[in-house]
Chains A and B, each alone.
Chain A
Amino acid sequence: MGREIKLMQGNQAISEAAIYAGARFYAGYPITPSSEIAEICSRVLPTIGGIFLQMEDEIASIAAVVGASLAGAKAFTATSGPGFSLMQENLGLAVMGEVPCVIVNVQRAGPSTGLATKPSQSDIMQLRWGRHGDQTVIALCPASVRECFELTVKAFNFAEKFRVPVILAPDEIVGHMRESFEVPRAGELEIIDRKKPSCPPDQYLPFEAEVDGIAPLAAYGGDHVFHITSSMHGPNGYANNNPQNASWRVEQLHRKIDLHRDEICLTKTFDTEDMDVLMVTIGATTRSGRAAALEARKRGVKVGVLQLLTLWPFPEKEVAALARDVDTVVVPEMNYSGQIAGEVQRVVGTEKEILRVNRYNGTIITPRDILESILESRSGQSVRAGG
């Protein structure tokens, strides 16, 4: 049976992929530009034995997702900037309690209420560092409707496998973009479910990691009774303030991600075999970047593109390997502060110059913006690109 070709919006692909991955619980609060995900879930989930809950705010939304996940659900929520900020404290709880869940943050332009309907890529640091305390999460960023589908399935798989909240962070352009693509058939993509405890119930320790760094997770209502707490806790899930225990816990939260970073760090490369200039892109900027790279090659500048599908943990090895032999690294991104560029700079070192192309007015970076910057930097003088 062939794949069905469907015209779909990014947010719709995310909703359909979540259900494909086994999500049966959604709790959320309406916010542009993510609301389509809630609307679709409200229509589909009740017909497949799932639950849709519209909560009183985003704090409650992520809380309900955590609760449902511990009752055994694959659970998720979707939001944007202001709502994502509100979710941070309970997202920290999900990290601490090692609760699998997926949060979609369709990035819009801030600060604050900002440009509520316009795209941006300015939550990169908040994805990683938005919560207080030492902790780590996984964050993914699609550039097309097809990638919205594929990365949503990945997000659930990572969440289930590593017992960690995973954030999918399309920018508004990708969330609202419509493209046709071949929808994966049922069973075509790998679906991972969380590890269940196999020990006798009275021996179950919900935070005792196995050799892969991850502890099995029971569900409330089963034979294995368990405690989850936002406070520092021992292997049995009960509060524990012992310094040695606290070190072990913080290390364990990081170690399970570090151990599997090669599996988690997803990237794509385009024309990087013979390049003089490396472009590092995320989300919708990948599309402008690739167009600019092709145009640059026509003008004799060999540009290759490294697209980061995983934002966190940052794909340091992949960036370092490709940046080693180029003379210029260019990073276009839809923010003022160069949040991706800063990470790239950290990886390549201060001696290599990063060409930053930033836009933060709620409009997309065009291929011409990037091309002009590259050509300017190559010639050392202003070059007018295009017609």
Chain B
Amino acid sequence: MTHATGTKYLKNGMLPHMWCSGCGIGILMGAMVRAFEELEYTNHETVVVTGIGCTGKLDDYLTTNALHVTHGRALPHATGVKAFNPRLKVVVIMGDGDSVTIGGNHLIHAARRNIDVTAIILNNFNYGMTGGQASGTTPEECITSTTSFGNPEREIDICALAEVAGANYVARQTPYHGWELKENIKEALNKKGFSLVEVVSPCPTHFGKNNEMLEAREMLLWLQEKSLPVEKYRKLGVGEKKDYFAVGTLVDRNAPDFNTRYEEIRKRALEL
């Protein structure tokens, strides 16, 4: 059996990509285009919507349809695309700034609305593009270029937020888990309704440098040590859980998606 490479979704002449050595975005992109190939996605039916920041540059490398938008607003743009043409496969790529900081409200409402798009969120705990400032996922006490003496604020849990807001599917992986990441992306793409995959990722250039993980390798090992398969994670006591994060499929349910519900409303409106 030949392995999917996903290269047919990558634009000729654009590689090597712009991301720093040790960054997780390239691995995310690789996993995503392999997932596209294994699911036999076509460029015509696929729309990738991106926001702003390092992760938001991902559309530059793709041959699918793409919509690169303002900071934090990828999800509502994707909502308009999908609501009007439900046949399209709509994939939204965001960083932690886009998804849960400037655009957090849209994540809540996309999940609540259960719009059938897949959000892939690269969480590297800081704003890489602008020089490593704190974001909504920067852990408490961590050092960034705007929290030089330690972050006084607590971090948000992207997956927990998506779950309580109503997402049909939520998973978490890291670039250390390349194969599992691709499999979770495939599950998310196949899920009808709002699906989300968080990719906890190294940013050695900024976050790692500021927080005693100078090399990409150290950051990857840190991700390996801190991540536990969700089945194991759930068996930990409350005190132990704070030292780890769960990877794997966290939420899997089948509430009707927005377009299905809207079709029912259309029928009702016509009957009256």
User: What's the nearest-Cβ distance from chain B to residue A298, in Å?
Assistant: 54
**Band of interface residues on A:** 35 or more
Could you tell me if A222 and B44 are in contact, using CB atoms closer than 8 angstroms?
yes
Is the CB of A227 closer than 8 A to any CB of chain B?
Answer: yes
Could you tell me if A63 and B65 are in contact, using CB atoms closer than 8 angstroms?
no
From 37 to 93 in chain B, residues with beta carbon under 8 angstroms from any chain A beta carbon are: 43-45, 47, 49, 57, 59-60, 63-70, 73, 75-85, 87-88
Majority-rule SS of B interface residues: helix
Could you tell me if A221 and B88 are in contact, using CB atoms closer than 8 angstroms?
yes
In the complex the two chains form, what is the Cα distance from A220 to B81 in whole Å? 8
Could you tell me if B76 and A225 are in contact, using CB atoms closer than 8 angstroms?
no
Is the CB of B106 closer than 8 A to any CB of chain A?
Answer: yes
Could you tell me if A46 and B269 are in contact, using CB atoms closer than 8 angstroms?
yes
Q: Which chain B residues border A238 with CB–CB below 8 Å?
A: 11, 60
User: What's the nearest-Cβ distance from chain B to residue A48, in Å?
Assistant: 9
Given A51-B83, A223-B44, A239-B60, check contact A70 B67 (CB 8 Å): yes
Q: Which chain B residues border A72 with CB–CB below 8 Å?
A: 84-85
Could you tell me if A59 and B73 are in contact, using CB atoms closer than 8 angstroms?
yes
In the complex the two chains form, what is the Cα distance from A219 to B82 in whole Å? 12
Is the CB of B3 closer than 8 A to any CB of chain A?
Answer: no
Q: Which residue of B lies closest to A222 (CB)?
A: B44
Q: Which chain A residues border B146 with CB–CB below 8 Å?
A: none
In the complex the two chains form, what is the Cα distance from A238 to B64 in whole Å? 12
Q: Which residue of B lies closest to A47 (CB)?
A: B269
Counted as pairs of residues, one from A and one from B, with CB atoms less than 8 Å apart, the total is 139
Is the CB of B236 closer than 8 A to any CB of chain A?
Answer: no
Could you tell me if B78 and A239 are in contact, using CB atoms closer than 8 angstroms?
no
The proximity string for A residues 69-108 relative to B, scoring 1 for CB distances below 8 Å and 0 otherwise, is 1111101000000000000011001000000000000000
From 211 to 235 in chain A, residues with beta carbon under 8 angstroms from any chain B beta carbon are: 219-223, 225-231
Could you tell me if B106 and A231 are in contact, using CB atoms closer than 8 angstroms?
no
Could you tell me if A60 and B67 are in contact, using CB atoms closer than 8 angstroms?
no
Is the CB of B232 closer than 8 A to any CB of chain A?
Answer: no
Could you tell me if A231 and B68 are in contact, using CB atoms closer than 8 angstroms?
yes
Q: Which residue of B lies closest to A73 (CB)?
A: B84
The 17 listed contacts between A and B (C-beta, < 8 Å) are A59-B73, A63-B76, A64-B76, A65-B80, A66-B69, A67-B82, A68-B84, A71-B80, A71-B81, A72-B84, A221-B44, A221-B85, A221-B87, A225-B64, A226-B65, A227-B65, A228-B66
Is the CB of B265 closer than 8 A to any CB of chain A?
Answer: yes
Could you tell me if B70 and A225 are in contact, using CB atoms closer than 8 angstroms?
no
Q: Which chain A residues border B8 with CB–CB below 8 Å?
A: none
